[in-house]
Structure 1
């Protein structure tokens, strides 16, 4: 049985458990780096592929010789090596977007993983429960929702808000049958976080940090910069308690903003998956959209500061995470997600199909078709166009009656069909 759902709870270590989990987190990070370095070395020197089965035997010998490795539970060390195997498999898979496994820095999120056979959970009352971890004992956590399945793995992690316990759970739930609900198109943006084609107003995500929190974050960042400079000049780069406290306060603010962003994303994607049978979205390349502006100190680029602000705004709306959540929630609620080509969705008239950059001058909120004078909110017009494309390509039984739109390029006066393939380049 494989885990098909995740459950995350706030954990509350007691007594020395916090110090033990912190040491384990750093040990797990170091073990990952050592195991990865060993695999890279053997491949570069001998073209030998090392796997977790062989490394687990070496880990058993290392636990007897090295104290800090022996302190980490054996199940956690073996789980790290299995995760490294999975990272390599994802890298070798041409259909997976994962890159080559990376080394973990000291500032990385602390986490320790255990297989499901090594943990046990007992419920204390309606709101509290405990999980028994090897060499640690019972760890209390807030039972904010039912686990609802068989535990296949457990991970203890720490972020700016504290410790958490996550379970990979096998629920056995199968995808729902098609729900037969109406289709929609969704345009994810910056000014309007999400505009649904069947609605008349956009869904706006509240700022992840309030004005006072943003000011506080700016002050803390400036204080951190001064303290880091002082540490390099007078302490040989060693961080003091005050600097560590500042870093912890920054982590707490950023984690608070991330939680608010995650809350909005979950509510948005759940509502879309439950109430629609077909959801059209743009097939965005977020990495290309958020590439840094070209330039250097000697020859600075143009609008570098504006591009940096736009990149932060795009990433703050997390279009990639929204798509990921939509895809797995759609299977749960009987809907389907159809990514469409984002080519000129903001310049295409959703009523007549004419594509003209003049229909939307600048980055204004108004779309005015140059052919028939049709006017609409630019993001709503784009969402209707996305829905039309999704209906044509998603296999919906509700087919669009509009012909394939054509593109007018004012600079050259040429007309070409968007779906037509590019001509082969002469050699």
Structure 2
């Protein structure tokens, strides 16, 4: 089994190397914006967009021209990779997978990529890496790099420079551990598992919201581009970096534990982008409950539901498991005992009470049970091509906790 994996390390560059990396990132940003402006101009004039090969020819002219001779100071491969990123962004836009490419701004996601492994040298014993036109850079060697180096991406975050080393290696197919589990995502509980366990939300942004607001207010009171303004802006960037690192650490720990202990994980196919859209509306048709919806959107984005699903997907594949995505319709309104579906079953956000059979439990846990059952049904559909829904008055689940409730009301198990 072939595995592509990236190993990220903090760089410890000298002052001259930091200045060079800022120049390289600025050159890549300039090339991206210039190429994007050219593509937009050709589109407005009714001409076809240039492909990657055509943009590379223009890049050669820009590097050798009199207007931008400083582009020669940057390595050519990262500049070409910037044009590849623009080509991919255009492809995703016309395939309706993303929005139209936007111009890049200074100090926002500054990065550049070295795609040629022949130009990269990695010395793990001495904790250093060689990159073209930068020389040897020291890095904080927190773990070993496994596999053959394919490419290196250099980026800056919170005033610190990082190198992400992508490798490729062959690994044995793992045998998954554990059984199947359903997961229901929520606000009060970040993730509730069908075996009864749940993860409390971290709410990293909410914890540091007051400190971030004060730091942003301090920036607004400074003269723009002054020394004090730059210091205040650096403090804001450090807070944002701390928030993101804490959220990322929480998600990695949760997804690693789940993927190691379960062979099949069933989750809802939640459209996070649609769920977190603004409810403000327009001047002619203003939205309702805008303040409450704004707080809900902020909480959803703070918890990182999409990143949780993305990490579960590749970690389960590494462990030999499977991620099953099921439609979210009526997962929180269906009684797991009698199968009755009604909006009245969930009168409150926390409690589930079936109006048909009287079964009561935590609403998130009931949702995880229904998600697990839907996952089993989808697996049966993929194997046999026919979905057999459970009959009324029957129950199918791997949860002993629900089995006890089911036996108490006398409902047979399939």
TM over 0.5, shorter chain: yes
Check if 1:206 corresponds to 2:184.
no
Residue number in structure 1 paired with 2:165? 167
Deviates more, 1:313-322 or 1:167-176: 167-176
- Per-residue CA deviation, residues 138-173 of structure 1 (Å, 9 max, x unaligned), is 111112222111111111101115111012211233
Instruction: Look up the match of 1:100.
Output: 100
Kindly tell me: are residues 226 and 276 of structure 1, through their superposed partners in 2, closer, same or farther at Cα, counting changes over 3 Å? Answer: same
Paired residue for 1:357?
Answer: 343
Aligned to 1:311: 297
Query: What is the alpha-carbon distance in structure 2 between the residues aligned to residue 273 and residue 80 of structure 1?
Result: 35
Pair 1:266–1:41, CA change in 2 (3 A) = same
Cα offset, 1:108, TM superposition: 1.7
- CA gap 1:245/1:404 in 2 versus in 1, 3 angstroms: farther
Per-residue CA distance 1:264-308 (angstroms, 9 max, x = gap):
111111222221121110001111111111345787543212111
Between Structure 1 and Structure 2, how many residues are aligned?
386
| Residue equivalent to 1:336 | 322
CA 1:225–1:299: 2 relative to 1, 3 Å: farther
How far residue 225 of structure 1 moved from its aligned partner, in angstroms, is 2.9
Work out which of the residue numbers 370, 374, 381 in structure 2 matches 1:385: 370
CA contact (8 A) 1:4 1:172 kept: no
* 2:159 and 2:234 in contact (8 A); partners too: no
Do 1:161 and 1:255's aligned partners in 2 also have CA atoms closer than 8 Å?
A: no
* Alignment pair present for 1:139 and 2:137: yes
Of 313, 326, 336, which aligns to 1:327?
Answer: 313
Partner of 2:146: 148
Q: Is the 8 A contact 2:351 2:361 kept in 1?
A: yes
* Partner Cα distance (1:83, 1:176) in 2: 34
Question: SS of 2:113's equivalent?
Answer: strand
Distance in 1, matches of 2:206 and 2:45, equals 53
The correspondence of residues 395-410 of structure 1 with structure 2, limited to 5 A, is: 395=380, 402-403=390-391
Q: Which of 238, 247, 257 is matched with 1:261 structurally?
A: 247
Partner of 1:81: 83
| Partners of 1:293 and 1:92 in 2: CA distance | 27
Q: Is the 8 A contact 2:205 2:302 kept in 1?
A: no
Cα shift at 1:180? 6.4
* Contact 1:182-1:277 at 8 Å conserved across structures: yes
**1:362-412: CA deviations, max 9, x gaps?**
32x111111111111111111011000010012388x9983379xxxxxxx
1:278 corresponding residue in structure 2: 264
TM-score by length of 1: 0.83
Q: 2:361 aligns with which of 359, 369, 376?
A: 376
SS in 2 for 1:372: coil
Match of 2:178 among 172, 176, 181: 181
Cα pair 2:9 2:164 within 8 Å, conserved: yes
Structure 2 contact 264–321 (Cα < 8 Å) conserved: yes
CA shift, 1:40, in A, is: 3.0
CA deviation map 1:175-194 (0-9, x unaligned): 545x3631110011111011
RMSD (CA atoms)? 2.6
- Residue in 2 that maps onto 1:119: 120
CA 1:93–1:214 in 2, change beyond 3 Å: closer, same or farther?
closer
Structure 1 CA distance, aligned partners of 2:392 and 2:98?
35
- Aligned residue number for residue 413 of structure 1: none
For structure 2, list consecutive stretches of 5 or more residues without a partner in the other structure. 394-414
Residue 134 and residue 83 in structure 1: after superposition, are their counterparts in 2 closer, same or farther (change >3 A)? Answer: same
Q: TM-score, normalised by structure 2?
A: 0.86
Q: For 2:163, what is the secondary structure of its paired residue?
A: strand
The answer on whether the counterparts of 1:130 and 1:141 sit within 8 Å (CA) in structure 2 is yes
Give secondary structure in 2 for the equivalent of 1:109: coil
* Equivalent residue in structure 1 for 2:217, among 219, 222, 232: 222
Query: Counterpart of 1:345?
Result: 331
Report the 3-state secondary structure (helix = DSSP H, G, I; strand = E; otherwise coil) of the residue aligned with 1:281. Answer: strand
Structure 1 pair 5–92 and aligned structure 2 pair: CA distance change class (3 A): farther
Q: What secondary structure is seen at the aligned counterpart in 1 of 2:61? A: helix
Deviation (angstroms), 1:43:
4.0
Instruction: Report the equivalent of 2:396.
Output: none
Contact 1:42 1:49 in 2 (8 A): yes
Contact 1:189/1:317 (<8 A) preserved: no
SS in 2 for 1:354: coil
